[in-house]
A and B are shown apart, each in its own frame.
Chain A
Amino acid sequence: MTSTAPYWGTAPIATHHMQSTGAFTSVAVRRSFGQNHVSAVPAPPGPPAPQQASSPSAAAAKAKRDWPASVRHYVQRAFASENSIPGINREEMETKLKQVISDSAESNTLLTVDWANKPLPQHMILDERQQSTYLNQNPPWGNGVAPLSIYETNQRSTDSPSKKRKSSDLDSSQDGLQNLPPWRFANSHNVFEARITHPDKRQRNDLSGKSTSKSHQAKNKKRFEDGQAGYVSPKQPFTPSQLNTPPQEMDQGPVIGRCQDLEKKYFRLTSAPNPDTVRPLPVLERTLDLLKRKWKKENNYSYICDQFKSLRQDLTVQHIKTEFTVNVYEIHARIALERGDLGEYNQCQTQLRALHSQHLGGHPEEFKAYRILYFIHTCNRTDMNNALADLTPEEKKVPAIKHALETRSALALGNYHRFAQLYLSTPNMGAYLMDMFVGRERLAALSNMCLSYKPSIKLRFFTEELGFESDDESARFICDHGGQAFLEDREGEVLILTGKAGRFFEAARQAAFQKVDIKGQI
């Protein structure tokens, strides 16, 4: 340990640590306490590790104080390996044990306590964690604190009412945190996780270890269920709606709904779903028909969107992954597209990508084409690259996808002439997506023309090159961007004085490309 030498000189805290631990070195059995140098409690010596010979430590304990046999037995039980709970390490357990015994010693109850039936320290810890989790789940304080505890379990973070995930949040490239995939959430909150989330995390471990004690379960039940029979899954604690369902189902199996209503308002789940409010597949199929009719007749987007969300939710909680599911998502995506609700559209698109990859039917090609157009709009090169990587040579020949790819290529090369032609011949509902970025591309082309043509071009030429419907429309477009000064009527023909405009539209072009706003959820 030659290199530790400088350490001693410069880091007094570390030195202290070393010395204090050094003092323990003579008592081999107390090694584990050596690290735990915060033990301010005048505690009885810890019992031995189960795999080590237990007699020396017992002797050591006797030497200092003669503990009642019941206490010693209790300590032995605490350390017995069959009583250990995964997720609670020995140090914690020992600290608790010390505290229990010294508390008892201080109050002179060592002989009166019923040690044989007293809960073991690890169970006490578990209980405390349950309670603190409960507090975290229902924070009495405001939002400022709550999200911290909520982030910790990635999935649950989305369920909290205090941190509502807007569909658009997923894509707001500005906000680093929101942009993260779920598995990163916990990660980026690592610092806090270390402080706050232990209880819950451990608890989850407990579940996997299947060692949750009976007494603890019973307590839990009493506390949160008002004495009703049932089982609370520690993964999703304190959800009364689970009560009627057997444990297996809650943990992994899908819910089977028994709601017969066709319509249902969408509520974000904050607990496991209640079968009474979930509609089974036959009902959902009728719901879809109803929604399609209503959309045609009433065209009420906010109602339809809400209904589709609850429809999707019911499908999800029942683990229904069929062509019907694909159908629902596709219809919702198209409706969202029609209304320019890109946030909702993108949610569907993401799901559809996964669903299509399972070959459940539907129209994967149509949506792959949309995806490409969507990434043109968001200027997301990483996603675009991924989308390109996903395509097979056959798919590239499908008209819709071919169109999207050509559009992409034309824009990448600045070929506005070709772009306008493609814009006017967009298959399916791609035009709704093209509309999203046609403005900025026209602006780019206008800026381009002003730099390269001298002294002027006819407005007619601009109209035709960029696929405007009429000279009026293109003139309005130029005026909207403040370029009326560059329009001149000469002998019955309108000219754009490109030479004069020069770099005028450059700033507008840059601004248009900078803000790609997809938060526009309706």
Chain B
Amino acid sequence: MEVLFRDFQTACQEGSGHLLAATISPIAPPSYLNRLDAIYKDSDVASISQDVARGLTKSAHAAIQYPNPQIDTWTEIYTAYWYAIGGIIAAEQPTSRPEWLRVYMAWKDLANTIIKHYSSGVLEAWTLPVLYMAGKHLRIFAIKADEAAAASGGSDTFNTGEIQEDIAGDFDKNQKLEDAARVINRMFTLCISDRAPLEESRKWGLYYTANLQFKTYFKLNSPSLCKNVIRALGAGRTDMPDLDAFPRSHIVTWKYYVGVLRFLEEDYAGAEESLTSAWHMCHHSATHNIELILTYLIPTCLLTRQLLPSPRLLSPYPRLAEIFTPLVDAIRSGSLSTFDAALADGEAEFVKRRIYLTLERGRDMCLRNLLRKVYLATGMDEEGKRRTRIRVAEFGAAIRLGERGVEGENLENDEVECMVANMICKNLIKGYISRAHGMVVLSKNGAFPGTGI
């Protein structure tokens, strides 16, 4: 218990929000692996709140006289914390059946207590990391509680006793996480509604709490809810600090999520901008984060600028290399059948990452490369210039060559025309189709834009 008060005192003296947040960490620091145990064993249900109050008052006397509300507040917080770690210690016992629900409920109490004291104004803006700590782990414990609930066999998910219109309401498989999302939303509201001058405003917590919401909504598979957060931030932009002034980690995460959301909305130009900037700002040692950013940036650039990732870019990230390389190779060689196979192979993974529908469009590039090969193979005319009139049948032959089996044989020239027409519309080929002659007439200059011919 003493360690708690000592840490609290140090944090207050140094005015360090992060140190203060560390005092309510549910994870013991490497330097003191027994921290949770030590704190928990030092008190019991009957006396915890007096113990904390006494401890805090004592340490307060030793250092500075805290105003009373501070002591009351922290007594409440640490008491809630004490209950939470009781649950955590029990849940982490290897033998027992982990009761993450109990941990979640206790942690939620802690989070609500903290929120309460922020809104009453006792906790000041510099202590925001405490809020972050509460929110971050609330989400984690909610996920664990949901997982535990799912593992223990589905409870009857229908009809919870409320009046219902339809037979099957929302499934409760993410019940606790949804609950956590509400609490996290309150944290965000807490930050955005603070009208104090910027230096001591909770507005500095905006991006962290917004990111936490994004994370939660993505996990809940409802990324569309993020729009509300973005809208709220957009509306409040006038009296907010500049984005650049926030901690870099907050910005990188924010830009990543904004980029992914734009990606999902097919705003690829916007996605490229946000993701690129997140990529540049991300700390180089945060490989997992870079990997996440690239997961979306690579398909984005594929569409916006027909850029393929080089092996050098992928090499530090074996997982990315594994999922992208087959596709990229197929596109490079212009082999439609290989591309289709690679896309089908990776479908489960791509769908999971929500990049399937975008990667699928890489087929255009693959086809472009194939047609370009045809163009190059067609050779020169009498004057030593490239032939720019190519029969549709020639393109058709090339496509059929690549496609194996029935599909390839059944390919009609009309469909080939359709494919070429698409290329022209998407500006991957310059030229036009003359149906009367069964010819594709390519532009004399730059028939395949961006490829050097």
Point out residues on A near B: beta carbons under 8 Å.
1-4, 6-7, 10-11, 14, 17-18, 21-22, 24-25, 31-32, 34-35, 51-52, 153, 155-156, 158-159, 173, 176, 179-184, 186-188, 190-191, 235-236, 251-252, 254, 268-269, 271-273, 312-313, 315-317, 319-321, 325, 329, 347, 350-351, 354-355, 381-382, 384-386, 388-389, 409, 412-418, 448-449, 451-458, 461, 464-465, 499
Given the interface pairs A17-B121, A179-B224, the reply to whether A388 lies near B356 with Cβ below 8 Å is yes
Question: Chain A contacts of B381 at CB under 8 A?
Answer: none
Question: Chain A contacts of B72 at CB under 8 A?
Answer: 31-32, 34-35
A22 engages B67 (CB within 8 Å): yes
Q: Which of B137-145, B195-203, B285-293, B322-330 contacts A (4 or more CB under 8 A)?
A: B195-203
Given the interface pairs A52-B50, A412-B361, the reply to whether A382 lies near B124 with Cβ below 8 Å is no
- Residue in A31, A156, A414 whose Cβ sees the most chain B Cβ within 10 Å: A414
Question: Chain A contacts of B159 at CB under 8 A?
Answer: 254, 316, 319
Question: Chain A contacts of B317 at CB under 8 A?
Answer: none
- 8 Å CB contacts to A: which residues of B1-48? 12-15, 46
A31 engages B68 (CB within 8 Å): yes
CA–CA, A193 and B227, complex, Å: 21
A452 engages B420 (CB within 8 Å): yes
- In the complex, what residue of chain B is closest to A159 when comparing beta carbons? B163
CA–CA, A235 and B161, complex, Å: 9
CA–CA, A252 and B435, complex, Å: 70
Known: A52-B50, A153-B162, A254-B159. 17 other contacts (CB 8 A): A6-B200, A155-B162, A158-B165, A184-B181, A187-B182, A273-B163, A319-B158, A355-B168, A389-B352, A412-B361, A413-B364, A413-B422, A415-B419, A416-B418, A452-B422, A452-B433, A453-B432
- In the complex, what residue of chain B is closest to A19 when comparing beta carbons? B67
Question: Chain B contacts of A187 at CB under 8 A?
Answer: 181-182, 185
Question: Chain A contacts of B265 at CB under 8 A?
Answer: 381
B186 in the interface, Cβ–Cβ < 8 Å?
A: yes
B222 in the interface, Cβ–Cβ < 8 Å?
A: yes
A413 engages B225 (CB within 8 Å): no
Question: Chain A contacts of B67 at CB under 8 A?
Answer: 18, 21-22, 25
- In the complex, what residue of chain B is closest to A389 when comparing beta carbons? B351
A316 engages B165 (CB within 8 Å): yes
A316 engages B162 (CB within 8 Å): no
Given the interface pairs A182-B169, A412-B360, A412-B361, the reply to whether A34 lies near B69 with Cβ below 8 Å is yes
- Prevailing SS type, chain A contact patch: helix
A449 engages B163 (CB within 8 Å): no
Residue pairs across A and B with Cβ atoms less than 8 A apart, 26 shown, are A3-B124, A10-B197, A11-B197, A18-B69, A21-B69, A31-B68, A153-B162, A181-B170, A186-B182, A191-B189, A236-B162, A268-B165, A317-B164, A319-B158, A321-B158, A355-B167, A386-B221, A389-B352, A415-B422, A417-B417, A418-B418, A448-B421, A452-B424, A453-B432, A456-B435, A465-B414
Q: How many residues of B contact A (CB 8 A)?
A: 84
A4 engages B418 (CB within 8 Å): no
A182 engages B425 (CB within 8 Å): no
A34 engages B68 (CB within 8 Å): yes
Given the interface pairs A183-B178, A416-B418, the reply to whether A3 lies near B228 with Cβ below 8 Å is no
Question: Chain B contacts of A454 at CB under 8 A?
Answer: 432-434, 441
CA–CA, A452 and B422, complex, Å: 8
B255 in the interface, Cβ–Cβ < 8 Å?
A: no
CA–CA, A417 and B412, complex, Å: 10
Q: From residue B233, how far is it (CB to closest CB) to chain A in Å? A: 14
Q: From residue A6, how far is it (CB to closest CB) to chain B in Å? A: 7
B126 in the interface, Cβ–Cβ < 8 Å?
A: yes
B158 engages A385 (CB within 8 Å): no
CA–CA, A180 and B170, complex, Å: 12
Going nearest first, the 5 A-B pairs with the smallest beta carbon separation are: A3-B15, A354-B168, A155-B162, A452-B421, A452-B424
Question: Chain B contacts of A382 at CB under 8 A?
Answer: 223-224, 264, 354
CA–CA, A7 and B441, complex, Å: 74
Question: Chain B contacts of A21 at CB under 8 A?
Answer: 67-69
- In the complex, what residue of chain B is closest to A180 when comparing beta carbons? B225
Q: From residue A388, how far is it (CB to closest CB) to chain B in Å? A: 5
CA–CA, A361 and B34, complex, Å: 54
1/0 per residue, CB under 8 A from A, across B197-225: the answer is: 10110000000000000000000011111
A272 engages B163 (CB within 8 Å): yes
Q: From residue B216, how far is it (CB to closest CB) to chain A in Å? A: 11
B401 in the interface, Cβ–Cβ < 8 Å?
A: no
B231 in the interface, Cβ–Cβ < 8 Å?
A: yes
B93 in the interface, Cβ–Cβ < 8 Å?
A: no
Q: From residue B33, how far is it (CB to closest CB) to chain A in Å? A: 30
B264 engages A453 (CB within 8 Å): no
Q: Within the complex, which residue of A4, A413, A465 is in contact with B124, where a contact is CB–CB below 8 Å?
A: A4
Given the interface pairs A235-B161, A271-B163, the reply to whether A385 lies near B356 with Cβ below 8 Å is yes
CA–CA, A138 and B197, complex, Å: 42
Question: Chain B contacts of A413 at CB under 8 A?
Answer: 360-361, 363-364, 422
Given the interface pairs A1-B12, A2-B14, A382-B264, the reply to whether A51 lies near B166 with Cβ below 8 Å is no
B351 engages A385 (CB within 8 Å): yes
Question: Chain A contacts of B434 at CB under 8 A?
Answer: 453-455
Question: Chain A contacts of B223 at CB under 8 A?
Answer: 382
- 8 Å CB contacts to A: which residues of B101-155? 120-122, 124, 126
CA–CA, A350 and B226, complex, Å: 22
A452 engages B425 (CB within 8 Å): yes
- 8 Å CB contacts to A: which residues of B169-196? 169-171, 178-179, 181-182, 185-186, 189, 193, 196
CA–CA, A252 and B155, complex, Å: 14
- In the complex, what residue of chain A is closest to B122 when comparing beta carbons? A35
B15 engages A2 (CB within 8 Å): yes
- In the complex, what residue of chain B is closest to A32 when comparing beta carbons? B72
B68 engages A7 (CB within 8 Å): no
B380 in the interface, Cβ–Cβ < 8 Å?
A: no
B307 in the interface, Cβ–Cβ < 8 Å?
A: no
- In the complex, what residue of chain A is closest to B348 when comparing beta carbons? A389
Q: From residue B342, how far is it (CB to closest CB) to chain A in Å? A: 15
Question: Chain B contacts of A22 at CB under 8 A?
Answer: 67-68
- In the complex, what residue of chain B is closest to A317 when comparing beta carbons? B164
CA–CA, A456 and B433, complex, Å: 9
Q: From residue A381, how far is it (CB to closest CB) to chain B in Å? A: 6
CA–CA, A347 and B164, complex, Å: 14
Q: From residue B94, how far is it (CB to closest CB) to chain A in Å? A: 32
Question: Chain B contacts of A449 at CB under 8 A?
Answer: 421
CA–CA, A254 and B164, complex, Å: 11
- In the complex, what residue of chain B is closest to A3 when comparing beta carbons? B15
Q: From residue B336, how far is it (CB to closest CB) to chain A in Å? A: 11
Given the interface pairs A381-B264, A382-B224, A386-B221, the reply to whether A448 lies near B425 with Cβ below 8 Å is yes
Given the interface pairs A6-B200, A52-B50, A183-B170, the reply to whether A251 lies near B161 with Cβ below 8 Å is yes
- In the complex, what residue of chain A is closest to B75 when comparing beta carbons? A31
A269 engages B432 (CB within 8 Å): no
A25 engages B435 (CB within 8 Å): no
CA–CA, A372 and B34, complex, Å: 53
Question: Chain B contacts of A180 at CB under 8 A?
Answer: 225
Q: From residue A325, how far is it (CB to closest CB) to chain B in Å? A: 6
Question: Chain A contacts of B421 at CB under 8 A?
Answer: 448-449, 451-453
B69 engages A35 (CB within 8 Å): yes
Q: From residue A439, how far is it (CB to closest CB) to chain B in Å? A: 18
Q: From residue B155, how far is it (CB to closest CB) to chain A in Å? A: 12
- Residue in A153, A254, A273, A417 whose Cβ sees the most chain B Cβ within 10 Å: A417
A155 engages B418 (CB within 8 Å): no
CA–CA, A235 and B419, complex, Å: 61
B418 engages A415 (CB within 8 Å): yes
Q: From residue B440, how far is it (CB to closest CB) to chain A in Å? A: 9
Q: From residue B432, how far is it (CB to closest CB) to chain A in Å? A: 4
B369 in the interface, Cβ–Cβ < 8 Å?
A: no
Q: From residue A42, how far is it (CB to closest CB) to chain B in Å? A: 22
Q: From residue A57, how far is it (CB to closest CB) to chain B in Å? A: 15
Q: Within the complex, which residue of A254, A385, A448, A451 is in contact with B354, where a contact is CB–CB below 8 Å?
A: A385
